[in-house]
Structure 1
Amino acid sequence: MKPASITEDNPSFDVLDRYPIDCWPWPRIAVFVPMAGNWGRADELWPTFSEIARSGVRIFYHPADITAVVRNRVAEGFLTTEYTHLLMLDSDQRHPTDIVQKMARRVIEKPERRIVAGLYYDRRPPFEPLAWKRGNDGLYYQFVEWGSGLIEDIDLVGTGVLLIHREVFETLERPWFAYTYNGIQEQKADYVYPTEDVYFCQKARTAGFDICIDTSFESPHASSSWVTKRTYEEYRDRQEETKTYEEITE
């Protein structure tokens, strides 16, 4: 299939292997990397971003500032271009070097997908995956078990690995990202104030956009060590062992 004949209405996986990313006729993906993160691990992080850049992708950088402000500014700049999708990749995560291709594959197989997230974990205990489903009680709950693949109909995800179609920005009113507190989980003692990713997801879901997450890969999160699924599982198992011991010794 010739590049010119590849469109959103006529997608092709051929683009993934045959052309540099910036030559793809569709999807046209630009990457945004906020210039903030764990600089103590720069020697491990930036070779990864360099390799991603070598694949021919356009990368937007922005100096460190309030996270929501930076994301809004970049989204505004993105809308002045002809790109169809913006892929947000946080700079404190070690992403697969073919992450653009991985995310592109999900929209090529189903072009109507507008928001696709990648899996990563909170860098703070209990290191849970940053993806939530809303329960019947109106509260949001994180996943504890999942397979390897695509999970549809998610309610909240982190913005550390997030592919967004330009239609989402064009449809939603500004600001797209903001810190806000609406009391939705005020009864949960361990809940912190919603960050800009929560605001964006709630706004997108209210507007009718679906959110899915690809769990077939992960982007380790920088902390005192690299936080991965193994980190989460080992911490969870230790907590369960402690609880069992406490129950036995009561």
Structure 2
Amino acid sequence: MSQRLLVIAGLHRTEALPHWQHAATIRVLKKNCETIYIDEGHIFDVGKARQQMVEVFLTIPKATHLLFVDDDIAAPKADCLLGMFQFMDAHPASIVSGLYYNKNPPHAPLLMSLTERDGKILFGFPYKDRIIEKNLVLKVGAVPAGFLLIPREVFEKIPPPWFVYGDPELNAKQIVQGENVGEDIYFSIKARKYGYDLWVDTRASLLHYVPMFVGDPELMKLMFRGVDTVAPQIRAVSNEYKNRIDKIGK
């Protein structure tokens, strides 16, 4: 086992999924290190929720890494986190996300570009019409935060706040005015200013519930095609948690 101590922070993003689905996703992940799980407790503002999770994480002296796992994310491949750690170990000053897809149609992969020019910011989805090679770790301009691995030193080097949703200053800097700038974009911009590289590991391919799962069609088959032959581990754990909850409910 590694000497690292991983803190997994679960955030509530949907009420549409069975509550045991998230627990099953967390449990089946291969971690290869000691792990602590913390829960954000249904804070409506996602920026404040992530901020609170970082603050809790920093109160654990031996904690070395924080992994955000939102409850609308599913990881059919149990080893996806191991590759992210391997890449991070080989590339200091890196922050690594798994690969999943945007909640809004046409559900572009969240491999985001982000440029700053003349005091304005512009971000986009350059891979929305491109085939993604599945065994690469790609450098990006911004990372989503739904399955995001961050070393402790990031929060020790960068002053708070780390996550702010709808920051008025960033909203005003958008070249294309629209929705509030997400807390993940806020974090990405700040991390880059302090010298960190942002990456998406395409080997860590995930599903995103929006309110239906979107992502790699092969992962869809892995997750849903057959209880007995496909993804037996995650299905077995899901059923175990469901049965426990059902018994308690009775």
TM (norm. structure 1) is 0.72
Partner of residue 156, structure 1: 142
Alignment coverage as a number of residue pairs = 205
Alpha carbons 2:96, 2:150 under 8 Å: kept: yes
- Give the whole-Å Cα distance in 2 for the aligned partners of 1:86 and 1:192: 27
Partner of residue 80, structure 2: 99
- Give the whole-Å Cα distance in 2 for the aligned partners of 1:207 and 1:156: 14
Alpha carbons 2:93, 2:195 under 8 Å: kept: no
- More displaced, 143-152 or 56-65? 143-152
Distance 1:165 1:141, change over 3 A: same
| Aligned partner of 2:104 among 124, 130, 151 | 124
Asked whether 1:178 is paired with 2:131, we answer no
Alpha carbons 1:49, 1:97 under 8 Å: kept: no
- Give the whole-Å Cα distance in 1 for the aligned partners of 2:58 and 2:126: 33
What CA RMSD, in Å, does the superposition of the two structures yield over aligned residues? 2.5
Partner of residue 12, structure 2: 35
Task: Report the AA paired with residue 79 of structure 1.
Answer: L
Cα deviation 1:172-222 (Å, max 9, x = unaligned): 111100021423334x36x42111111000111111111111012321011
SS of aligned partner of 2:27: helix
| Aligned partner of 2:182 among 190, 195, 201 | 195
| Aligned partner of 1:140 among 102, 106, 123 | 123
Task: Give the structure with the larger strand fraction.
Answer: 2
Task: Report the AA paired with residue 94 of structure 1.
Answer: A
| Unpaired runs of at least 5, structure 1 | 1-18, 232-250
| Aligned partner of 1:204 among 174, 184, 191 | 191
Considering only CA atoms, is the larger Rg found in Structure 1 or Structure 2?
Answer: 1
- Map residues 3-82 of structure 1 onto 2, 5 A cutoff: 19=1, 24-25=2-3, 27-52=4-29, 57-65=35-43, 66-81=45-60, 82=62
Asked whether 1:112 is paired with 2:125, we answer no
TM (norm. structure 2) is 0.72
Partner of residue 234, structure 2: none
Higher relative contact order (CA 8 A, sep 6+): 2
Task: Report the AA paired with residue 29 of structure 1.
Answer: L
